Amino acid sequence: MDILRFATAGSVDDGKSTLIGRLLYDSKSIFADQLEAVERTSRDRGEEITNLALLTDGLRAEREQGITIDVAYRYFATPRRKFIIADTPGHIQYTRNMVTGASTADLAVVLVDARNGLTEQSRRHAFLTTLLRVPHMVLAVNKMDLVDYSQSVFERISAEFSAFAARLDIGDLAFVPISALHGDNVVERSAAMPWYDGPSLLHHLEHVHIASDRNLIDVRFPVQYVIRPHASTDASLHDYRGYAGQVAGGVLKPGDEVVHLPSGFSSRIRRIVGSGGTDIDEAYSPMSVTLLLDDDVDISRGDMICRPNNRPAAVQDIEAMVCWMSASSALAPRTRLIVKHTSRVVKAMVSELHYRIDVNTLHRDEAAPSLGLNEIGRVRMRLTQPIFADPYSRNRATGGLILIDEATNATVGAATITDTR
């Protein structure tokens, strides 16, 4: 059994909570006591039908205000797959939360209300999904029951979305007409829409092929921690020097020739030690392993191990799309930041803000003086030391970075590298 991480985007009005409730309920992942608590609260609040949104709204403020503030993570499993849902709030003021949820997602479900068709919000969700390079997207056209399960409505919305999607770079896009409330095409194929011959949403989630979404070509091993069992009384461990980390790309094998960055020294992989000491013959993303090399090279946290003929760029000036996440400060030329990229932490200064993008219309405002909370723009940054990076489109693990405020230590932004030349 493998794991599919998916993000859901859409507002409460689009039936997102109902859809999640339905997936959890039909896969028997809602427990009796959780359902009872929700039923009780719904009754106390005088609501006529059980409000499944209460299942996902975990904070007091969310329940009181009936809104979703933050990303909630939900878990369910079918015999085929384990699923992690990042349930993200849909409103524009929570763009940063959606970006957060999408950063680790294999797939995004963008919900639209069949009665309203595409809205500014659906376009924004699709844009953010592509910005974070979520490899698979599903446009779920919900509330089909309220448009008489009309094929033409579904086809009109799908065509309109396809036209919009052509301006974005979406790897894999699927359309499913559903009624979350009645369960049509959510878990089971619906008898009410005989004209639809695709899979149900859950069937699609269970079968979408994600293994090849990972980069298995470019070997990238950011060194996270050096394991040196100093105090050991075991003589065989005296010279043990293991480079521990999580594989960020490619496939590593014992015997492979590797290059260490920044030094440029080459060596060979002597052993790959898996968790708990077992030797393994192939390491790939997202495995956490320890490399032992043939030669004594001075390697420390923040360094990168790769192959001689396939290296990430060592860049000190980066071009990136930035999503600004701070309400108390803004990003502008000369803003100083701390950058965390793989296991490397460096200081940075914004050298240029090329443009701010309107997340609803994709219009680029080149006169924008700064980026405020939830705003997205193309930025050039100067780093105090090089990082070993790939374009985000090539590798999410070596192309993404977070921005930290020097004074408050808050995480104030996220960036995806567009260009390493």
Partner 1 sequence: MRPDYQLSQLDVLEAEAIHVMREVAAEFERPVLLFSGGKDSVVMLALAEKAFWPARIPFPVMHVDTGHNFPEVMEFRDRRVAELGVRLVVASVQASIDSGRVAEETGRHASRNRLQTTTLLDAIEEHRFDALFGGARRDEEKARAKERVFSFRDEFGQWDPKNQRPELWNLYNTRIHRGEHIRVFPLSNWTELDVWEYIERESLELPSIYFAHERQVFERDGLLLSDNPFVTRGEDEPLFSATVRYRTVGDMTCTGAVSSSADTIEHVIAEIAATRITERGQTRADDRTSEAAMEDRKREGYF
By CB under 8 A, the residues from 365 to 384 that bind partner 1 are none
Question: 197: alpha, beta or left, given left = phi > 0 and alpha = psi -120 to 50?
Answer: alpha
Alpha helices in 66-145 (DSSP H): 95-103, 120-131
Does position 91 interact with partner 1 (CB under 8 A)? The reply is: no
Minimum distance from residue 285 beta carbon to partner 1 (Å) = 8
- Per this entry, what is the length of the chain? 421
State the chain's maximal CA–CA distance in angstroms: 76
Minimum distance from residue 356 beta carbon to partner 1 (Å) = 19
Minimum distance from residue 300 beta carbon to partner 1 (Å) = 10
Does position 307 interact with partner 1 (CB under 8 A)? The reply is: no
Does position 80 interact with partner 1 (CB under 8 A)? The reply is: no
Residue selected from 63, 91, 182, 380 as contacting partner 1 according to rule CB under 8 A: 63
Does position 72 interact with partner 1 (CB under 8 A)? The reply is: yes
Minimum distance from residue 178 beta carbon to partner 1 (Å) = 24
Sheet bearing 266-273, strands edge to edge: 221-222, 304-306, 257-261, 266-273, 288-293, 242-246, 225-227
By CB under 8 A, the residues from 107 to 146 that bind partner 1 are none
Closest CA to 113 of 33, 212, 208, 10: 10
Q: At what angle do helices 120-131 and 95-103 cross, to 10 degrees?
A: 40
Does position 282 interact with partner 1 (CB under 8 A)? The reply is: yes
Count Cβ neighbours within 10 Å for each residue of 208-247 and write b for 16 or more, e otherwise. Answer: bebeebbbeebbbbbbbeeeeeeeeeeeeeeeebbbbbbb
Residues 6 or more apart in contact with residue 298 via CB below 8 angstroms? 263
Judged by beta carbon, residue 156 or residue 241, the one nearer partner 1 is 241
- At 204, which helix (H) or strand (E)? helix 201-207
Collapse the DSSP code of 171 into the 3-class scheme (helix H, G, I; strand E, B; otherwise coil) and give the result. Answer: coil
Does position 34 interact with partner 1 (CB under 8 A)? The reply is: yes
Question: What is d(CA 184, CA 193) in angstroms, rounded to the nearest whole number?
Answer: 8
Q: Interface with partner 1 by CB under 8 A: which range of 45-53, 211-219, 303-311, 369-377?
A: 211-219
Residue selected from 67, 107, 396, 417 as contacting partner 1 according to rule CB under 8 A: 396
Does position 414 interact with partner 1 (CB under 8 A)? The reply is: yes
Residue selected from 43, 45, 47, 73 as contacting partner 1 according to rule CB under 8 A: 73
Question: What is d(CA 15, CA 109) in angstroms, rounded to the nearest whole number?
Answer: 12
Q: Interface with partner 1 by CB under 8 A: which range of 106-114, 179-187, 310-318, 402-410?
A: 402-410
Judged by beta carbon, residue 74 or residue 143, the one nearer partner 1 is 74
Q: Interface with partner 1 by CB under 8 A: which range of 148-156, 337-345, 348-356, 368-376?
A: 337-345
Amino acid present at 369:
P
Q: Interface with partner 1 by CB under 8 A: which range of 116-124, 178-186, 242-250, 310-318?
A: 242-250
Judged by beta carbon, residue 137 or residue 325, the one nearer partner 1 is 325
